[in-house]
Amino acid sequence: MSKSLCVRYYQLLYIIPAVYTIMLVYANHWTREELFWSAERKILTVTSTFAFNREMRWVWLWLIQFVSVMMLSNVRTVARHFTFLCERFHVSHSWCHLLRTCFIIWPLSLSAIVIFIHGDAPQMKRISNISPLIWTMHYVFVLMMVVGVSGVMISIHMVLKRCPKSLGQIQKAHRFTWKKFISISFSFCAFAMIALGVTATLKDPMGKSPETAIFWDLMTAFEYISILLLMLFAVDVFAGVRKLEQLVTSLDDRMMTDSLTTNLNSLDSTRKNSMSPIL
């Protein structure tokens, strides 16, 4: 059994998406006048919650450190788990190498997204004191995070997909169908977020025109969902490792019990057929 606390107590990790959701609800209802760019915008961007508000920035800094420690301290555990599956079912080890690399890239990119950008609240004035260079680096790290998460999802999908159907318990333990649903949904939302963000930026980089508000709001909605999905997927990776370990332990115990029962029955039958007294 794994000694990783994230694997053994993966249920506690759901605090991450819970805190994220609560923070978005709080930001949209109680900081509108401070953090919104304009009255035409309906939804507050995720970036605004950690770039312009001190208290929420503290929460985000705690959150990204929690995620970074959680992911980076378990690279070896997760990689070893899926390497075993690759070796057992003759899957290319390149998927494990991709998994290990992207497992490091995306939490580091998430940290850079939050740490590197900070400025004064716009307060409905459609202005920002953050330089264009910082905004450019911010979007680069967003793309790196999306690529990293996509690499993790694709590599895990390819490994689990190659598991024999006769051993469907492995896919069931890893909740393969749920992981596949999250992966497809994340890919769609991330693509829509990037496409809408590029469109909005080209039309109105600073969001000064009311006509572009719909593009920014739609981008933000897909951004909300994308981040929530990647958090759920990260937790589900640890859940799958834990459930498969429990399944293997259960099967080992059952095999030992069956073997012991068979040996005892065999010994009992031998004694009954023997003519010598049992002392």
pLDDT of residue 166: 66
The stretches of the chain forming alpha helices (DSSP H) are 5-8, 15-30, 32-35, 46-51, 54-72, 75-88, 94-115, 132-161, 168-173, 176-203, 213-273
Looking at residue 203, its pLDDT comes to 79
Query: What pLDDT score does 257 carry?
Result: 43
Could you read off the pLDDT of 69-89 as tens digits, one per residue?
999 999 999 999 999 999 988
Distance in angstroms between the alpha carbons of the first and the last residue of the chain: 42
The per-residue pLDDT for 124 is 59
Q: What is the pLDDT of residue 25?
A: 93
Supply the mean pLDDT for the chain.
84
pLDDT of residue 276: 47
- If you compute the radius of gyration of the chain from its CA atoms, what whole number of angstroms results? 25
Q: What is the pLDDT of residue 206?
A: 63
Domain ranges in the chain are 5-245
Q: Decide: 91 and 164 in contact? Cβ < 8 Å.
A: no
How many Å apart are CA 178 and CA 243, to the nearest integer? 14
Closest C-alpha among 231, 240, 138 to residue 185: 231
Residues 6+ apart with CB under 8 A from 113: 47, 138, 141, 142, 145
SS3 (DSSP) at 10: helix
Under 8 Å between Cβ of 148 and 109: yes
pLDDT on residue 272: 53
Q: Is the dihedral of CA 48, 54, 59, 65 positive or negative?
A: positive
pLDDT in tens, 119-129: 887 765 666 78
Residue of 15, 140, 8, 124 whose CA lies nearest to 66: 15
DSSP 96-153: HHHHHHHHHHHHHHHHHHHHS------TTS----S-HHHHHHHHHHHHHHHHHHHHHH
Per-residue confidence (pLDDT) for residue 123, from 0 to 100: 66
CA distance 35 to 28: 9
- The token pair at 156 is 């895990």
Please list the ranges in the chain whose pLDDT falls under 70: 1-2, 37, 123-127, 166, 205-208, 251-279
Cβ neighbours for 172, distance < 8 A, ≥ 6 positions apart = none
Residue 279: per-residue pLDDT: 34
Can you give the pLDDT at residue 39?
A: 72
pLDDT score at 165? 72
